[in-house]
Structure 1
Amino acid sequence: MSVFIVLFITAVLALFAGVFEQGKYSRYIGIAGLLVALYVSYLPDCEFFAAYKTMFDYSTNAALFTKISIVTTLLIFFIGGFAFSNHRSHQSELYALMLISLSGGVVLFGYQNLVTLFIGIEILSIPLYVMAGSNKTDLRSTEASMKYFLMGAFATGFLLFGVALVYGSAGSFDLYQISSFAINNPKNLMLVVGSILMLSAMAFKVSLAPFHMWSPDVYQGAPSLITAFMATVVKIAGFFAFLKLMTIAFGGIVGEWINIVGVLLIVTLLLANVMGLVQTNAKRMLAYSSVSHAGYVTLIFFGMNSLSPYNLAFYLFAYSLSTVGVFMALIWVEKVKRETSFNAFNGLGKRHPLLAIAAAVSMISMAGIPLTAGFMAKFSLFNQAIKGGFEFLVLIAVFGSALSIAYYLRLIIAMFFYKESTFNTSEKVSITYNIVAVVIIFAIISLGVYPDLFVKQFGL
């Protein structure tokens, strides 16, 4: 809860910087606040909040996911100066909204009952509806905001209906009391229906097919930096909340919902990777890539063991690093050429080699090529599922990974093997972008070669 307070105060300060026409300082305020929050995340939670442990508990797992979310947000803030160069009039609001959304993620990492879950989801989601439509001169951004809001409202309806049924059967909002009721009443129809409705709502939040239909349009229409935030921090928060809900509250009726999750996994991996192959727009391709990675992450439900939270955190962190690495290049190309087609990336490797290398290494990691963090992340999930006896699901995931290599390679080939002379701009890549590119390349390769570094850095 201490981290939540730090982040919320930082969001207010960033917002008021815009009120006093000092919006250009909002990013620096945000970065400073995030660094303080990262420091606080390593400390035990204040004893004052012990009275609220039935609502929010800053456990070891909550601390782990809080740390990786803050680090990812820091990277996004570092590249935000150039990305928001055409949002000078309201960039303070965008930084503040990202911080508020991150605060919602922190609530989701420590929630202990269904009321806190709902509050966390809404704090996380409502700023996203606004940010998705923040590019007021682009009709696609307005469409993205409206589509995301409407679909989000339907998902919230499913969630609340499920909460009502679960409370009606178990008589409590507490996760552990619901778990106890589920163990003693595994065939209670109201509880089972409620769990499935809540599963559907969470599947929407993490964009599992067929609940993904909003994702490509919203990801393409939203400003690129906001898309990067949605594909990383929002996914981290959503998946941890999803895992915690289904394994703690509904662990006693796992047989009633695990097959549904398996079907969603298979449909997601096949549909997303096939659709990724036929895209001609890099941003839309990355949207389907994000959906496919939701499928890989869903393997965490199969063969659960004591290392599962660590495996989930490692995968989501590796994926987030790669996503930021690719979006750095995409943001630059979009600014220079005002489009994000594959052809727009032609010659980027010659013009801005460090940016292109960071994007290439990131996509290689996303594809799960050895000696990258993405490979070790996928290997840990695949190994867990195989030990649990779910070899068929792993085969589907391997097939999906093979398909993904094709569309990642298309972008890599465009950057390094096609000549293009239309990068005629006097604006050079900033020192900040170069530093972040080096950090991402180093982190992806280091975690791929020595994954225990993740454990040491995040204090497990």
Structure 2
Amino acid sequence: MSVLIILFITAVLALFSGVYNQGKFARYIGILGLLVALYVSFLPECSFFNQYKSMFDFDDNSALFTKISIVVTLLVFFLGGFAFNNHRSHQSELYALMLFSLSGAVILFSFPNLVTLFLGIEVLSIPLYVMAGSNKTDLRSSEAAIKYFLMGAFATGFLLFGTALVYGSAGTFDIATISAYSIENSKNTMFVLGIMLMLSAMAFKVSLAPFHMWSPDVYQGSPSIITAYMASVVKIAGFFAFFKLMNLAFVGSIKEWINIIGVLVIITLLLSNAMGLAQSNAKRMLAYSSVSHAGYLALIFFGANSLSLYNLAFYLFAYSLSTIGVFLTLIWVEKIKRETSFEAFKGLAKTEPIAAVATAVSLLSMAGIPLTAGFVAKFSIFSQAMNGAAFLVLIAVIGSALSIAYYLRLIISMFFHKESSFKTSEKMSITYNIVAIFIIVAILALGIYPDLFKMQFGL
């Protein structure tokens, strides 16, 4: 809970810093607060907070995913100086909202109770609805906010209705007690119906097809840096909560819901990769890429073992690094060209070679090419899922092969054009280049020596 308190105080300070100098210091306050929170996350939890364990249980798994989320949010904040140039009048609010959303993610990492789960999802999501529509001069941003809010409210209704049915059956909100109930009453009709409704709500949060309808429009319409945050930190929080809910609270009813997730995986992988091939806009392609990775991640439910949470954490960290690696270039191209089509990236390697290499390495990692972190991550989850879901792994391999085609289109645009289409003298900032180098090194290092992940996060 110490980390949660630090993040909340940092968010409040960043919010009120807007009173002075139009939020000039909000970014630095946020970075400092995140660094302090990251340091505290490595320390043992204060015994004073043990009295709140029935509602907030910050265990080792919570600490691991909290560390990952803070590191990724730090990278997003480093990109914020250039990305928020058009939001100088209210950038303090955007940084604060991001920190409030991260606080919701920390709550999701520590929920032992369905009430805490609901609170975490809402604290995570509500700031996102505002941030999605923060570009007031762009109608697509307003459309993204409305769609995200309406679909999110609809999913929340499913979650609450499902929670009510589960509570009505088990007589408790505590997930450990619900787990014991599910083992003894795995086929209780009302209980199973509640599970299905909650599964649908969580599938929306992680954008599994066909609950992904909001993703392409919201990702494309939102400011790019907000999209980067959605595709990384929100994905981390959503999948951890999804996995913990289904494999702990509803473990006794696994036969009732595991096949449904299998069907969702097939639909997700085939639909998202087919739609990704049809895109001409890089940002929209990345939206379908995010949906496809939700399909790969959902394989974690099959053949679950003691290493499942570690595999999930490694995959989410590798994917988040790759997402930031692509979006740092996309943010710069969008500012210069006012568009994000594949054509806009032509010849980027001649103008900004470091950023182009970072984007190429990130895309290859997303595709699961050997010697990248993405390959190790996919191999770990696919190997686990082979125990009982070999057909789904086959579908996932086919999906990965298809994804290479649309990832290569962006790489070809950047590297294989004789002349650069960038006629500007403006260069990427030192901060962006440092982040790009960090991502290149991190992705390749984790791909060659995966145990570095354990060393980084104190495992």
Q: TM-score range by the shorter chain?
A: over 0.9
Counterpart position of 2:413: 414
Indicate conservation of the 8 Å contact 1:346/1:419, yes or no.
Answer: no
Counterpart position of 1:64: 64
Counterpart position of 1:29: 29
Counterpart position of 1:139: 139
Paired AA for residue 257 in structure 1: W
Counterpart position of 2:190: 190
Indicate conservation of the 8 Å contact 1:38/1:67, yes or no.
Answer: yes
Indicate conservation of the 8 Å contact 1:362/1:441, yes or no.
Answer: yes
Paired AA for residue 238 in structure 1: G
Question: Mind listing any 5+ residue stretches in structure 2 that lack a counterpart?
Answer: none
Indicate conservation of the 8 Å contact 1:281/1:341, yes or no.
Answer: yes
CA distance in 2, matches of 1:47, 1:22: 40
Q: Does 1:448 align with 2:426?
A: no
Indicate conservation of the 8 Å contact 2:22/2:91, yes or no.
Answer: no
Paired AA for residue 444 in structure 2: I
Structure 1 residue 24, shift from structure 2 partner: 1.4
Structure 1 residue 20, shift from structure 2 partner: 2.5
* SS of alignment partner, residue 423 of structure 2: coil
Paired AA for residue 67 in structure 1: K
Paired AA for residue 82 in structure 2: F
CA distance in 1, matches of 2:235, 2:321: 13
Counterpart position of 1:282: 282
Question: Mind listing any 5+ residue stretches in structure 1 that lack a counterpart?
Answer: none
Indicate conservation of the 8 Å contact 2:243/2:301, yes or no.
Answer: yes
Paired AA for residue 243 in structure 2: L
- Report matched runs for 1:28-427 at 5 Å: 28-386=28-386, 388-427=387-426
Structure 1 residue 420, shift from structure 2 partner: 4.2
Indicate conservation of the 8 Å contact 1:385/1:391, yes or no.
Answer: yes
* SS of alignment partner, residue 410 of structure 2: helix
Structure 1 residue 260, shift from structure 2 partner: 0.3
Runs of 4+ more than 6 Å apart: none
Query: How many residues end up aligned between the 2 structures?
Result: 459
Indicate conservation of the 8 Å contact 2:365/2:373, yes or no.
Answer: yes
Indicate conservation of the 8 Å contact 1:135/1:141, yes or no.
Answer: yes
CA distance in 1, matches of 2:266, 2:45: 40
CA distance in 2, matches of 1:227, 1:420: 30
* SS of alignment partner, residue 79 of structure 1: helix
CA distance in 1, matches of 2:181, 2:302: 23
Structure 1 residue 447, shift from structure 2 partner: 0.1
Structure 1 residue 425, shift from structure 2 partner: 1.7
Indicate conservation of the 8 Å contact 1:326/1:359, yes or no.
Answer: yes
Cα deviation 1:12-37 (Å, max 9, x = unaligned) = 01011102334111111100000000
CA distance in 1, matches of 2:418, 2:367: 25
TM-score, L = length of structure 1: 0.99
Give % identity. Answer: 77
Indicate conservation of the 8 Å contact 1:219/1:227, yes or no.
Answer: yes
CA distance in 2, matches of 1:150, 1:20: 34
CA distance in 2, matches of 1:444, 1:366: 10
CA distance in 1, matches of 2:418, 2:106: 45
CA distance in 2, matches of 1:99, 1:64: 18
Structure 1 residue 123, shift from structure 2 partner: 0.2
Counterpart position of 1:432: 431
Paired AA for residue 392 in structure 2: L
CA distance in 1, matches of 2:61, 2:133: 33
CA distance in 1, matches of 2:123, 2:419: 44
* SS of alignment partner, residue 187 of structure 2: coil
Structure 1 residue 418, shift from structure 2 partner: 1.7
* SS of alignment partner, residue 303 of structure 1: coil
Cα deviation 1:242-298 (Å, max 9, x = unaligned) = 000000110000000000000000100000000000000000000000000000000
Paired AA for residue 203 in structure 2: A
Paired AA for residue 23 in structure 1: G
CA distance in 1, matches of 2:418, 2:81: 29
CA distance in 2, matches of 1:260, 1:391: 16
* SS of alignment partner, residue 45 of structure 2: coil
Structure 1 residue 160, shift from structure 2 partner: 0.1
CA distance in 2, matches of 1:235, 1:459: 22
CA distance in 1, matches of 2:20, 2:197: 45
Q: CA RMSD in A?
A: 0.7
CA distance in 2, matches of 1:457, 1:89: 37
* SS of alignment partner, residue 369 of structure 1: coil
Paired AA for residue 116 in structure 1: T
Paired AA for residue 226 in structure 1: I
CA distance in 2, matches of 1:355, 1:439: 11
* SS of alignment partner, residue 21 of structure 2: coil
Paired AA for residue 56 in structure 1: F
CA distance in 2, matches of 1:295, 1:250: 20
Indicate conservation of the 8 Å contact 2:350/2:420, yes or no.
Answer: no
